Structure 1
Amino acid sequence: MIELVNISITFGKKVVLDHLSESFKPGEIIGLVAPNGTGKSTLMSIMMNYIKPDEGQVVFKEGLQYTSPQKTAKIHEMITMMPSQHDLYNHLSGLDHLKLYHHIWSKTSLPIDEVVAALQMEDYVSQKVGGYSLGMRQRLGFAMQIVANTPIMLMDEVMNGLDPDNVSLLSTLLVKKRAEGKLIIIASHLLENLEQYANKVFFLKDGKVIYRKNYDTPDQSEALFIKFRLPLDTVVDAIFKQIIPEEPLQRVGGSRWAIAISDVGEENADRIQKALWHYYHIPVTIGPLDLLDHYALSYGE
């Protein structure tokens, strides 16, 4: 368990976190979403006690806080942060790195061979890290944390630099770890597969949570939209002036557009969908706004 209590931090005149309070429980994967440089990594560093907040506390199970070296050591037995690319030693092998984490977190660690096999690293794990590709280094950092096997895992941009096959491999293992009762917090700006493994997603902006999604308790009242893609505003204007000039149209972001069915009614929604396909061969989907839509609306992208 992690409870964030009124966390605030400012760098210069920039407010990075503004009286943030949230609770995270075992058996959850939490997605922290925001553009780069807007507080995700800072929040994780505060949870690891790498940075002290200006205000607020991070509280772990049994009320543990970073109030003494002894309590800090006890907390760090149950929490790890995925090492970054710069934390790896080029002159050591991947296996050397895994042995290091296995030794440090010996109370909870998993057999190294088991993790290497699960992540399909047998072909290169004994090679020096200096010769690894970006994806191989990223998978090694993930493997180090899985070997440590702590109850709480923090991961910053875990899918960065991975091809689709490796994204799928790591996603499957994350779901398995969630089922084992791990609390995993993942900071990311890559949303394509976040919904596959996360229980909850939080969007951060100006130091606050501006949007949250809980996949454990779906919102049955969530609004449905007609959604389609068109790259040019002039084309969109021409189409809607001709066939459906009176309908409210919302630009979601980039080339994505949406019309709320609640605004036009189901009969008109059907008419719009058929017109877009029949006259202009524009594919349409019906559904709620997804994470990419909310990201575009939240951050103007």
Structure 2
Amino acid sequence: MIELKEIGVRFSGRDVLKDISVVFKPGEIIGLVAPNGTGKSTLMNVMMNYVSPQTGQVIFNNGLGYTSKKNEVKIHQLISMMPDQSDLYNYLSGREHLKIYSSMWNSNKQLIDQTIAALDMGSYINKKTGTYSLGMRQRLCFAMQIVSDTQMMLMDEVMNGLDPTQVEIISRILEKKKSEGKTIIVASHLLENLEKYADRIFFFKNGELELVSDLSPGFEQKELTTIRIEELPDAVSKLLCKEFPELDIQTLPNQVTLINVQGATSQQLTRVVAYLQEHSVTEFNLGKVSLLDLYSMYYQKA
């Protein structure tokens, strides 16, 4: 468990983190979503005590906090942060890196071979990392954190540089770690696959966290709330708003039109669908607002 209590960080007179209070629980995957440079990495650095907040405190299991060096050593046996590619030693092999991380956290050595197999790294794991591609280096960084086997894991941009197959593999590993009771926090500006495995997703803006399900009720429950239309002609959009003034209809900066039908009756839905078809709009989806749509709504506002 990680509890943030009124965390505040200011750099050059600007609030990077503003009175953030939230609890991250065991067996939970948290997504932190925001463009680069908005404070995601700073928040993780505060949790690791690499950055000291001006206000507030971070509390771990049984009330443990960063109140002494002794406590910091105890906490860092419970929590790890995925290394950056720049932290790799080009003259060491991938396997040697995994052995180092396993030894640092005194984890089960069997995890090394299990993780190599799960990430399909066997063909290159014994080669020096200086020969690795960006995708191979990224997989190694992820593998290093997995073999640490800490109760809490922080991952900053874990999916960067990975192809769809590797993204899917890592997603499955994250879900497995969640089932083991780990607390996993994934910060990213890439939305692919995030909503499939994250239990809660927060948007990060102006130094504050906002739960996505508060922005779009029903999002995390996968409710059918929205008719989604790509590139709806302006003329039809205006007619639609006039015909159905009771519905919330908006066109996003990505040119997707959303019709909020949460709570609408079956008769209302039938009328809307019939109206779209009458105006030659046949390509639309009834589902929920996607994370990409919400991202566009939230970050493209004035």
The question of a shared fold, defined as TM-score above 0.5 by the shorter chain, is answered with yes
Gaps of 5+ in 2: none
- Equivalent in the alignment of 2:235: 238
CA distance in 2: counterparts of 1:242 and 1:204, whole angstroms: 35
Closer, same or farther: CA 262–176 of 1 in aligned 2, 3 Å: closer
Q: How do residues 248-287 of structure 1 correspond to structure 2 at under 5 angstroms?
A: 249-261=249-261, 266-277=266-277, 279-287=279-287
Retained in 1: the 8 A contact 2:107–2:147? no
- Equivalent in the alignment of 2:9: 9
Q: How do residues 187-202 of structure 1 correspond to structure 2 at under 5 angstroms?
A: 187-202=187-202
SS in 2 for 1:16: strand
Q: How do residues 17-166 of structure 1 correspond to structure 2 at under 5 angstroms?
A: 17-107=17-107, 110-166=110-166
Retained in 1: the 8 A contact 2:223–2:287? no
Closer, same or farther: CA 86–272 of 1 in aligned 2, 3 Å: same
SS in 2 for 1:295: helix
Retained in 1: the 8 A contact 2:116–2:122? yes
CA distance in 2: counterparts of 1:93 and 1:278, whole angstroms: 63
Q: Does 97-106 or 252-261 show the bigger shift?
A: 252-261
Closer, same or farther: CA 202–220 of 1 in aligned 2, 3 Å: closer
- C-alpha displacement of 1:212: 3.2
- C-alpha displacement of 1:241: 4.6
Retained in 2: the 8 A contact 1:277–1:284? no
Would you say how many aligned residue pairs link Structure 1 and Structure 2?
A: 295
Root mean square deviation of aligned Cα: 2.4
- C-alpha displacement of 1:109: 5.7
Q: 1:149-196: per-residue Cα shift (whole Å, max 9, x none)?
A: 011100001111110100010000110000001110110111221122
Retained in 2: the 8 A contact 1:247–1:264? no
CA distance in 1: counterparts of 2:172 and 2:278, whole angstroms: 40
Q: Does 280-289 or 16-25 show the bigger shift?
A: 280-289
Q: 1:253-289: per-residue Cα shift (whole Å, max 9, x none)?
A: 3121112225986545433324434543541111232
Tell me the TM-score normalized by structure 1. Answer: 0.90
CA distance in 1: counterparts of 2:34 and 2:111, whole angstroms: 35
- Equivalent in the alignment of 1:170: 170
Tell me the TM-score normalized by structure 2. Answer: 0.90
CA distance in 1: counterparts of 2:108 and 2:4, whole angstroms: 25
Closer, same or farther: CA 263–143 of 1 in aligned 2, 3 Å: closer
Retained in 1: the 8 A contact 2:219–2:289? no
Structure 1 runs of 4+ aligned residues shifted over 6 Å read: 217-223
- Equivalent in the alignment of 2:228: 227
Closer, same or farther: CA 12–108 of 1 in aligned 2, 3 Å: farther
Retained in 2: the 8 A contact 1:81–1:145? yes
SS in 1 for 2:233: helix
- Equivalent in the alignment of 1:183: 183
